[in-house]
C-alpha cells in the first residue's frame, strides 16, 4: 500500500525578489516509487530539489518530507531519512575514497563495514585507498552515490546520477536504484537523459516555466497526449486490401508502404484490439512491428502544449 504522505508538497510558490520560479506546485509521492523529474534548464527542477533539501524556504505553501519540514528540520532529515547525490560531486582531492566515505559515515553513525559494502556495491572497493585526485569523473560519481546510500535512507534524491558513467556502469547504477525501490525506498531522479530514464520511471513529472505541466505514469501520459502507436504489418502475397475495412473506428491513419507492408497508427488504448482484429487474418500476416511513443515524444508534447497555453511562440 502506497504511503501517499511520504513526500507532500502543497501549493508551493517560490519567489526571488519579483521573479517567480515556482508556481503553485503540488506533488505527492509514496513509498517505493521511482519518480523522474524532467525539464529544460530554468524550468524549476533545481529550486524544487532545494526545497526538498531545506536549502531554501517556500514563499508560499508547505513542504513535508518524511514527516519533516526540511527548512526547519534539515539536520534530522539528512541524518535519518534522506540521501542526496548532487549533479556535480566534489571531494577533497587529497583524501582517499574510504576516507571520504568514512567522513560522511560519521554524520550518520555508520560503521567501517558498511562503507566497505557500499564501496563494493558501486565498484570502488579496489580503489578505496587511492586518493580522489586519481579518480576518473565516473569514479567520483560512483563515490557520490555511495555517500548518498549511507544510512539506508528512505528517500533518495538523485540529480543526474549517471553523469560520466559508461553504459555498463549506468545499467549497474539503475539496477541498484531498482533494488532500493523494491525494498520500499522512494527515489526521485532529475535527468536530461530521457531515453535512459524511460525504463526506470514509475511516474514522470514534467516541469516548464516553474510549473508542473504533466504528472503520471508513462501509460497515463501517452493516453492523455493521445500520442499514436505505430504498427507495421508485413503481409502475405495473397492478402486483400479490404482486410483493414473493419478497423476504421479504431485507427487514426492507414498507410500502404508498398504492396506487402501496411502501417497503422492508433491510440495506445486501441492497440490490443487492432492487433487482435488483424491477427484474425492470421494466414495473411507474416510479421508485425509495434513502435510505441517514446518519453521524448511525451516531453515535447506537454512542453509544446504549455507554451501554446501561455501564448509563447
> According to the 3-state scheme, what is the secondary structure of 95-129?
CEHHHHHHHHHHHCCCCHHHHHHHHHHCCCHHHCC
Residues 95 and 205 in one domain: yes
**pLDDT of 290 above 70:** yes
Distance of CA 221 to the CA centre of its chain: 14
Identify whether residues 16 and 111 lie together within a single domain: yes
- Contact in structure between 122 and 146 (CB atoms under 8 Å): yes
> Quick one: cell of 22?
515556482
Query: Is the same domain home to 260 and 145?
Result: no
Residues 116-161 have pLDDT tens digits of 999 998 999 999 999 999 999 889 999 999 999 998 999 999 998 9
The model's pLDDT over 193-232, given as tens digits with 9 standing for 90+, comes to 888 888 889 999 999 999 999 999 988 998 898 888 999 9
Residue 271: strand pairing partners: none
Dihedral angle over CA of 268, 272, 275, 277, nearest 10: -120
Q: Quick one: DSSP state of residue 96?
A: B
The number of beta carbons lying within 10 Å of the beta carbon of residue 287 is 9
Instruction: Tell me, yes or no, whether 160 and 273 share the same domain.
Output: no
- Examine the domain organization and report whether 204 and 251 are in the same domain: no
pLDDT level of residue 17 (50, 70, 90 thresholds): confident
Question: Does 258 lie in the same domain as 150?
Answer: no
Check whether residue 249 and residue 131 sit in a common domain: no
Domain span at residue 235? 228-292
Task: Let me know whether 39 and 80 are in one domain.
Answer: yes
Assess whether 152 and 263 both reside in one domain: no
- Cell 531515453: give the residue: 195
Domain total of the chain: 2
CA 12 to chain centre: 21
- CATH number of the domain at 66, please: 3.40.50.300
Model confidence pLDDT, tens digit, residues 227-263: 889 999 888 776 666 767 777 778 888 888 888 888 9
Q: What is the CATH number of the domain that holds 279?
A: 3.30.2130.10
Amino acid at each position: 500500500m502506497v504511503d501517499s504522505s511520504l513526500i507532500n508538497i502543497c501549493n508551493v510558490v517560490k519567489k526571488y525578489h519579483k521573479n517567480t520560479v515556482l508556481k503553485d506546485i503540488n506533488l505527492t509521492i509514496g513509498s517505493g516509487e521511482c519518480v523522474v523529474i524532467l525539464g529544460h534548464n530554468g524550468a524549476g527542477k533545481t529550486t524544487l530539489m532545494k526545497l526538498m533539501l531545506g536549502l531554501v524556504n517556500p514563499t508560499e505553501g508547505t513542504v513535508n518530507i518524511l514527516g519533516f519540514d526540511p527548512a526547519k528540520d534539515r539536520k534530522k532529515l539528512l541524518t535519518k531519512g534522506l540521501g542526496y547525490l548532487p549533479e556535480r560531486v566534489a571531494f577533497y582531492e587529497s583524501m582517499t575514497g574510504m576516507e571520504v566515505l568514512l567522513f560522511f559515515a560519521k554524520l550518520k553513525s555508520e560503521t567501517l563495514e558498511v562503507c566497505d559494502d557500499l564501496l563494493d556495491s558501486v565498484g570502488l572497493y579496489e580503489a578505496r585507498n587511492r586518493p580522489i585526485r586519481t579518480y576518473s569523473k565516473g569514479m567520483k560519481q560512483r563515490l557520490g552515490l555511495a555517500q548518498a546510500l549511507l544510512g539506508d535512507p528512505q528517500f533518495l534524491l538523485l540529480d543526474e546520477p549517471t553523469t560520466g558513467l559508461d553504459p555498463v556502469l549506468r545499467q549497474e547504477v539503475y539496477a541498484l536504484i531498482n533494488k532500493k525501490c523494491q525494498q520500499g525506498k522512494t527515489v526521485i531522479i532529475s535527468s536530461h537523459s530521457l531515453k535512459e530514464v524511460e525504463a526506470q520511471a514509475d511516474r514522470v513529472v514534467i516541469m516548464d516555466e516553474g510549473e508542473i505541466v504533466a504528472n503520471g505514469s508513462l501509460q497515463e501520459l501517452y493516453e492523455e497526449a493521445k500520442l499514436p502507436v505505430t504498427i507495421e504489418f508485413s503481409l502475405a502475397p495473397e492478402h486483400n486490401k479490404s482486410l483493414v475495412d473493419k478497423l476504421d473506428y479504431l485507427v487514426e491513419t492507414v498507410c500502404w508502404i508498398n504492396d506487402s507492408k501496411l502501417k497503422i497508427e492508433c491510440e495506445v488504448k486501441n492497440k490490443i484490439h487492432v492487433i487482435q482484429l488483424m491477427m484474425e487474418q492470421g494466414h495473411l500476416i507474416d510479421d508485425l512491428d509495434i513502435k510505441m511513443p517514446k518519453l521524448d515524444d511525451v516531453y515535447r508534447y506537454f512542453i509544446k502544449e504549455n507554451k501554446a497555453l501561455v501564448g509563447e511562440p
